[in-house]
Structure 1
Amino acid sequence: MKRWILGLLIMALSLASWGASCSISLPTGDLGGYEPSVNNSGVAIQQAFWVTCTQGTPFVISAGPSQNSGMIQKRQMKNTFGGGLLLYQMCHDYPGAGYCNRVFGNGTDGEALSATATGSQQGVYFWIYVFGKQMVEGGEYVDYVAISINP
């Protein structure tokens, strides 16, 4: 019997001391389906922020801990209708080997993203990796991660 899990990652955004000359759009948040018996090696989904800022403006994007686990290194989505937890990670690099070489974090725990604005819309990319072989009940899984952008 197939069991489908819809993984959702909803992010809060904090624009710390940004002027009116910068804007950002959030990722969609919907990670799609996950079936434990099929997804043995896990599921990796690329996400992006779209940042527009005055050319030459340096900025840093950091990701906080999972609301469910309270940790960056062990992020978890929680089943909205039960108590099941689904282990995942936010990565700077493609997690093809089943783990992140560079965890998207806050600069102390995991790495923050740093860039300099080009003056036009630019993508800031990262990966969401849901670890494989997690036998959890079906349903919608959600986690909240605070994302901070600082010039």
Structure 2
Amino acid sequence: MKHSILGLIFCGLNGVSIAASCHISLPTGDLGGYEPAVNEAGISVQQAFWITCPKGVPLQITAGPSQTSSNIQNRQMRNSNNASSRLNYQLCHSYPGAGTCSRIFGDGQVGLPLTATATGVQQGVYFWTHVYGKQKVESGEYIDYVPISINP
């Protein structure tokens, strides 16, 4: 039975000086379908923050805990019809080959922030969302919220 992953919603918590000097677009959206028998290694989707800041501004983007699990190391999405049915996932710096996330996108205490130097024009700062394979969960739509902080 196919499971729909409605997606993650990123809640932006901007740094104090960013509002005046930078423009940020946070990713949201559908991560696709999940079928445990078919997606044995899981599902990996590349996503990006689209940022426009003055050239040379150093950027640090942190990702907080999952709202569902209250945890960074063990992030989870909940089924929109049954909150006790959960789907494990992780935010990763690079492609999670072989179904593992070698570098977690986190807050600097748990996992590492994303960093970049602004180019003066719109640029993408990329990361991966990985839903682990072989999870026996109820069918339905799964969702989670993750707070994001962007500090120039």
TM-score (norm 1): 0.96
Q: 1:5: which partner in 2?
A: 4
1:40 aligned counterpart, secondary structure: coil
Q: CA RMSD in A?
A: 1.0
Output the CA distance in 2 between the equivalents of 1:47 and 1:68: 20
The question of whether the paired residues in 1 share the 8 Å contact of 2:2 and 2:33 is answered with: no
Q: What's the CA shift for 1:4?
A: 2.5
Residues 19 and 7 of structure 1: CA distance in aligned 2, closer, same or farther (over 3 Å): closer
The question of whether the paired residues in 2 share the 8 Å contact of 1:11 and 1:29 is answered with: no
Percent identity, aligned pairs only? 59
Aligned length: 150
Structure 2 letter corresponding to 1:56: G
Output the CA distance in 1 between the equivalents of 2:148 and 2:123: 17
Structure 1 letter corresponding to 2:9: I
Structure 1 letter corresponding to 2:100: Y
Q: What's the CA shift for 1:3?
A: 2.5
The question of whether the paired residues in 2 share the 8 Å contact of 1:3 and 1:137 is answered with: no
1:97-112 maps to which residues of 2 (within 5 A)?
Answer: 97-112=98-113
Which is further off, 45-54 or 6-15? 6-15
The structure in which a higher percent of residues are helix is: 2
Q: What's the CA shift for 1:26?
A: 1.3
Structure 2 letter corresponding to 1:148: S
1:64-83 maps to which residues of 2 (within 5 A)?
Answer: 64-82=64-82, 83=84
Q: 2:129: which partner in 1?
A: 128
Output the CA distance in 2 between the equivalents of 1:36 and 1:139: 13
Output the CA distance in 2 between the equivalents of 1:35 and 1:7: 14
The Cα offsets for residues 61-95 of structure 1, whole Å up to 9 and x where unpaired, read as 00001111111000000001012000000000100
Output the CA distance in 1 between the equivalents of 2:99 and 2:68: 22
Output the CA distance in 1 between the equivalents of 2:123 and 2:45: 19
Structure 1's consecutive aligned runs of 4 or more residues displaced over 2 angstroms after TM superposition are 2-7
Output the CA distance in 2 between the equivalents of 1:7 and 1:28: 9
Q: 1:31: which partner in 2?
A: 31
